[in-house]
Amino acid sequence: MTLLAKYHVPGLVVEDHAIEVPLDWHGRDPMDVVRSGFDETDDGGETIGLFYRVLCAPEHVHDDLPLLVFLQGGPGGQCPRPLGPDDDGWIAEAIRHFRVILPDQRGTGRSSRVEPRSIDGMSARQAADYLKRFLADSIVRDFEYLRLTEFRGQRWVSLGQSYGGFLTLTYLSLFPRALAASFTTGGIPHVPASADEVYAHTFPRMMRKTRQYYERYPQDRARVAAVADLLAGGEVRLPNGDPFSVRRLQMLGSDFGMKPSFERLHWLIDQAFVDGAFGVGESSGEIRESANLSSGFALEVLARTASYGRPLYWPLQEFIYADGELEKPIRWAAWSELQRHPEFAVDARPLMFTGEAALPWMFEEDSALVPFRPAVDVLMQDTHFGRIYDADQLARNEVPLQAAVYFDDMYVDSGMQLDTLSRIGNAHAWVTNEFEHDGVHHGTTVFRHLYEEALYRGDLDSLL
């Protein structure tokens, strides 16, 4: 292993590591690359860095523990940076049983991070092809190469949260022998994949979530409407100079699938106006002539909606549903579906909030996304992507798969999750409405439940 540092975070022993992986796998098996080296995998053998952390409980630092690799949500998500074992709920439970591997997916965190300047000088086609290399088929090959080279080929257990569940099915499709067992939380994709199908379910769920928000905080109908009416003039700017549009305001609904999102938005709207209680009529929603949005409100909206911290999230968002040769291009699937729902119009009241949807205007109004627009436009017309799922292999899967399916999940439809699970061998679902999409991060309950079900079923016997 290439050890960069070893240190303690309270309650955790932490090791930082990094290795090199091929920029372009060309669909090759990582075992072949282990045997032959990088030169045959890419013109000139170009490589990128893959960073990963190893976590262990202090009392187990010298024990021979099984390995658990965490497949982070995203796309474009880096691994957690825990402040301690209780900071991210599942970690406290996991380190009781495993040595935990936290890789930064390629292009994120400290793994040769992709930024807008990464595509400077590239044509739109070149940048599009470059971005394709940061999708599931490459991510999983990175992890498999990591397992083979740095962990002596030892089978490991995977925990996939959200998009990490998508990666889990890719791993089970391509390299099932690498996995002793798999856990997923809120992250079973529909197979066969279809972006159109996903967004046909997304916007009705967003309407329900928005209505639930207004039912909980009815006074916010008028305040949100007043903010939107003020923004409709088109002259308001965010602190970084980006336009503060009604559409940007609607993006705050992206948080509605997490707890306590309604409260976070309520208290943000509560302080939207400099005039406090006197900026807007609470019942009528009428804006006083002197009303102005507070600078703190604008700064918080920028923090919640800007892409500086996760520049790959929106550019890759729709392409996580691209599997192999597509029958037709994706062509802004979310935007196409949104046009069928006039309830989301910027002048509709009450104002509806949008969710996890990449929309063309975002690549015009978010300065962090503007450089990606030409490449994304090319990808939206593309039909050639790497294969990420093998339905036949999943049907005969023998790796124990335990999935937490959140019944009210806003991001990954529970019905579609259960349909996929019904066609995967050795798969088990725990359906619950106790948690939102981020349930695994809040306390130990979710991961402990999955672990104990697998333990009692005998799925972990090979590790004990």
Quote the DSSP letter at residue 77.
Answer: P
Distance of CA 331 to the CA centre of its chain: 21
Q: Read off the pLDDT of residues 198-253 as tens digits, 9 standing for 90 and up.
A: 999 999 999 999 999 999 999 999 999 999 999 998 889 999 999 999 999 999 99
Asked which of 380, 399, 425 is the last residue of a domain, the reply is 380
> What is the number of other CB atoms lying within 10 angstroms of the CB of residue 340?
10
Question: Is the domain of 56 the same as that of 200?
Answer: no
Instruction: Compute CA distances 291 → 255, 276, 409, whole Å.
Output: 27, 9, 37
Q: Read off the pLDDT of residues 373-386 as tens digits, 9 standing for 90 and up.
A: 999 999 999 999 99
CA–CA distance, 320 with 136 (Å, rounded to integer): 7
Question: Is the domain of 146 the same as that of 221?
Answer: no
Domain span holding position 311: 195-380
Question: Is the domain of 242 the same as that of 330?
Answer: yes
344, 335 in Cβ contact below 8 A? no
Asked which of 380, 402, 429 is the last residue of a domain, the reply is 380
Asked which of 380, 408, 429 is the last residue of a domain, the reply is 380
As for how many domains the chain has, the answer is 2
- Reported confidence tier of residue 179, pLDDT bands at 50, 70, 90: very high
Question: Is the domain of 359 the same as that of 455?
Answer: no
Question: Is the domain of 418 the same as that of 455?
Answer: yes
Question: Is the domain of 208 the same as that of 284?
Answer: yes
Question: Is the domain of 157 the same as that of 205?
Answer: no
Question: Is the domain of 268 the same as that of 340?
Answer: yes
CA–CA distance, 123 with 285 (Å, rounded to integer): 48
Average pLDDT over residues 54-71: 97
Question: Is the domain of 317 the same as that of 457?
Answer: no
Q: Which of 4, 45, 1 is nearest to 23 (CA)?
A: 45
Question: Is the domain of 249 the same as that of 155?
Answer: no
Q: Read off the pLDDT of residues 100-119 as tens digits, 9 standing for 90 and up.
A: 999 999 999 999 999 999 99
Q: What is the pTM of this model?
A: 0.96
Phi, psi of 239 (to 5 degrees): -55, -25
Question: Is the domain of 137 the same as that of 240?
Answer: no
Question: Is the domain of 434 the same as that of 333?
Answer: no
